[in-house]
Amino acid sequence: MSDSRNALVTGGTRGLGLAVARRLATEGWHTTVLGLDPGRLEKVRAMAEAEQLPLRAVRADVTSEESVREVFAEVTETGPLHLCVNNAGRNLSRLLLRRPRQDTGGGLLTHSLEDWERTVRLCLTGVFLVGREAAAGMVRQGVAGTIVNVSSGLAAGAYGQSAYTAAKAGVEALTRTWSYELGVYGIRVVAVAPGVMDGEALREKSTALPKHARYMEGLKRFVPLGRWGTEEEVADAVCFAAENPYVTGSVIRVDGGGPPGWVP
């Protein structure tokens, strides 16, 4: 890869986003990661300095139209953007409705609108806002760039995941739609859909909740390869999407063949 290529990764201060950003920087991309947590942003800066990587960390809120516009103006000051990886997201488990554990006569508990809107705004609206600015910048600067949207192996539906699965299905629909619209400008749009990853988030939750750890261990039997994936394996797929000039409108699934989303 040419040293002149510039990449941006949202949600890039931890987990999959950081793995993708690190891989891109290692392969010569001048990479900007976006995040909100000042402490994590500083850790990324320290890592980049220690490893002498062309990687910088910038604070931005992908759910804010103003913040996204401001950060794109800053990022493109040093040159055009060639690759945008839409990774920011959060999986919030909520049943549509459930009975309370102790029936106090209050009836059913239902999925709150607040949780729905918060999840969809981050996982879908954020992709729209960032993707729109990335595409507009590429067209203005005559760059035949690539937008990679991170979806999920659960996009077809999953138990207890109304907001998250709806948002990720929307991400895949945006990917196909944008590939139709932006192909005339030479811009490719690809989705990468990871399955469960044996990463920081899973390990933290499993440590905090032994019941969740047992559930996840049992779930592995539904995965044909019998194990969870790694963040590095998903980063491989993102790099493939970024490099292959004839891939667009596709969803690259990196999920080991499962598990099915319906398993309660």
Q: What angle do CA 75, 190, 172 make, to 5 degrees?
A: 110
Contacts of 128 (CB under 8 A, 6+ apart): 174
Q: Tell me which long-range contacts 163-166 makes (C-beta under 8 A, separation of at least 24).
A: 163/92, 163/94, 163/111, 163/115, 163/116, 163/119, 163/120, 163/123, 164/89, 164/90, 164/91, 164/92, 164/93, 164/119, 164/123, 165/261, 166/120, 166/124
Question: What's the pLDDT at 3?
Answer: 53
Tokens of 46: 């320290």
Task: List 85's β-bridge partners, or say none.
Answer: 9, 148
Q: What's the pTM?
A: 0.93
pLDDT for res 199: 86
Alpha-carbon distance 43 to 62, whole Å? 20
- In total, the chain counts a number of residues equal to 264
The pLDDT profile of the chain, 264 residues, written as one tens digit per residue, is 445 799 999 999 999 999 999 999 999 999 999 999 999 999 999 999 999 999 999 999 999 999 999 999 999 988 999 999 999 999 888 999 998 877 666 688 999 999 999 999 999 999 999 999 999 999 999 999 999 999 999 999 999 999 999 999 999 999 999 999 999 999 999 999 999 999 888 888 899 999 989 988 888 888 999 999 999 999 999 999 999 999 999 999 999 998 766 565
- How far is C-alpha 40 from the chain's CA centre? 17
Token digits of residue 62: 């992908």
Q: What is the pLDDT of residue 101?
A: 77
DSSP helix/strand/coil, 239: helix
Tell me the β-bridge partners of 161. 94
Query: b/e per residue, 101-120, with b = 16+ CB within 10 A?
Result: eeeeeeeeeebeeeebeebb
User: What pLDDT sits at residue 215?
Assistant: 87
Which residues are known catalytic residues? 164
In terms of DSSP H, where are the helices of the chain?
Answer: 15-26, 38-51, 65-75, 113-120, 126-140, 162-182, 200-208, 210-219, 231-243
CA-nearest of 249, 185, 241 to 9 is 241
